[in-house]
Amino acid sequence: MKNSFLFGMMIVMLGASLLISLALGRYEIDLGTLTQLLLWKLLNIGTAPKEVMLLSNIVFDIRLPRILAVILVGAALSVSGGAFQAMFVNPLVSPGILGVLAGASFGATLGIMISDSWFGVQLFSFTFGFVAVLVALGVAKIYGRSGSQTILLVLGGVISSSLFSALLSTVKYVADPYNKLPTIVYWLMGSFSAVDMKTLSSVAIPLIFSTIALSLMGKYLNVLSLGDQDAKALGVHVVWVRNSAILLATLLSTLTVVVAGMIGWVGLIIPHIARFLVGADNRVLLPMCALLGATFLIIVDTLCRTSMSVEIPIGIATSLIGIPIFVFALKNAKKGFA
């Protein structure tokens, strides 16, 4: 089958990029030594390579947590983007549609301003991500039940995004320009450099759970993409399905901001590429989004940390790489976003 083959290919590519990314960096490890180290450390096969302490410190303590976080964030952004595109019946929607990214960014900058601990920043970011989505849902609710619910939600999202962007600017304006502002600006450009085992272990379970749960909602999202009335008449609890999907996608998006700041474009372009490969059926599309998103972000992050002597913020890289890909992907728009 064509799809099984594609999935097999993608899993191999994800594995390969994981290995290569583990090997590359300021201290380069050749693939032979890396394999020897992994076999010895994980499966107890073979012998320990030379300088095993140094090597395991680099591979397991420094690079692995970061790369695992990259995988989870790449998958999370892409799956939530794909799910939102299906739900809003609009292929131009990205995970930030309901204001979650603006809210989480505002929360994080506020956290940087008033809290000294990294955990505080993460907590603020997480909280305000959800607050922003609640604002969007609240605005949609004000306009009542008449009319198309999805358009009201988009409207609510636009308002909520603008509100939190304005608040974010306010915080930047009053932030101490020598101490706090550079941290804020750097953080807003997105980076995985601060990821450690502690961050990873606290976000891994919700990220994995939500990614899988959202992927499993594929068939309901298919029906939802026909519009509310059709879906209801087919016997689907539209409100229930939509709210669960919004909850899961919000959780995913907020956590990506908590881990790595603002990373744009991934959630918009990966679903397009995935759709190009496997078609629009969300049951297949969303798992493919997860694999593609993870692989894509590993490659970009590896480039970011190895191509220059200073690390390139990943948000800048994903935008610069994402825009041409998106322009190319739009060529398929005529075929119904195949």
Partner 1 sequence: MSFYSAENLYFSYNSTPILQGVDLRIEEGSIVSLLGPNGTGKSTLMKLFLGLLNPKSGEVILKGKPLQSYSIKERALHVSYVPQSTQVAFAFCALDIVMMGRIAFESWFQKPSKKDRDLARAAMERLGIVYLEKRIFQTLSGGEKQLVLIARSLAQGAKILVMDEPVSGLDYGNQLRLLETILKLSKEGYTFLKSTHFPEHALMLGGYTYALKDGHILANGLTCKTITEELINELYHTNIELKETVCGYPVCIPSFVHTIKM
Q: Which residues here bind partner 1, judged by CB under 8 A?
A: 86, 89-91, 146, 216, 219-220, 222-223, 225-227, 229-230, 232-237, 275, 279-281, 283, 335-338
Q: Residue 329 Cβ, how far from partner 1 at the closest point, in Å? A: 13
CB-wise, 202 or 244, nearer to partner 1? 244
CB-wise, 198 or 237, nearer to partner 1? 237
CB-wise, 89 or 155, nearer to partner 1? 89
Written in H, E and C, the secondary structure of 83-111 is HHHHHCCCCCCCHHHHCHHHHHHHHHHHH
Q: Residue 4 Cβ, how far from partner 1 at the closest point, in Å? A: 14
CB-wise, 196 or 230, nearer to partner 1? 230
| Phi, psi angle pair for 211, to nearest 5° | -60, -45
CA-CA distance, 205 to 212, in Å (whole number)? 11
Q: Residue 281 Cβ, how far from partner 1 at the closest point, in Å? A: 6
Q: Residue 245 Cβ, how far from partner 1 at the closest point, in Å? A: 13
CB-wise, 90 or 115, nearer to partner 1? 90
99 in Cβ contact with 254 (< 8 Å): no
284 in Cβ contact with 232 (< 8 Å): no
CB-wise, 7 or 337, nearer to partner 1? 337
Written as one letter, the residue type at 273 is I
The structure tokens listed for 159 are 């308002």
Q: Residue 22 Cβ, how far from partner 1 at the closest point, in Å? A: 34
Q: Count of CB atoms within 10 A of residue 78's CB? A: 32
CB-wise, 158 or 280, nearer to partner 1? 280
Q: Residue 83 Cβ, how far from partner 1 at the closest point, in Å? A: 13
Q: Residue 235 Cβ, how far from partner 1 at the closest point, in Å? A: 3
Exposure class string for 23-54: b at 16+ Cβ within 10 A, else e: bebeeebeeebbebbbebbeeeeeeebeeeee
105 in Cβ contact with 164 (< 8 Å): yes
C-alpha dist (Å) from residue 189 to 32, 35, 64, 205, 315: 35, 34, 22, 25, 5
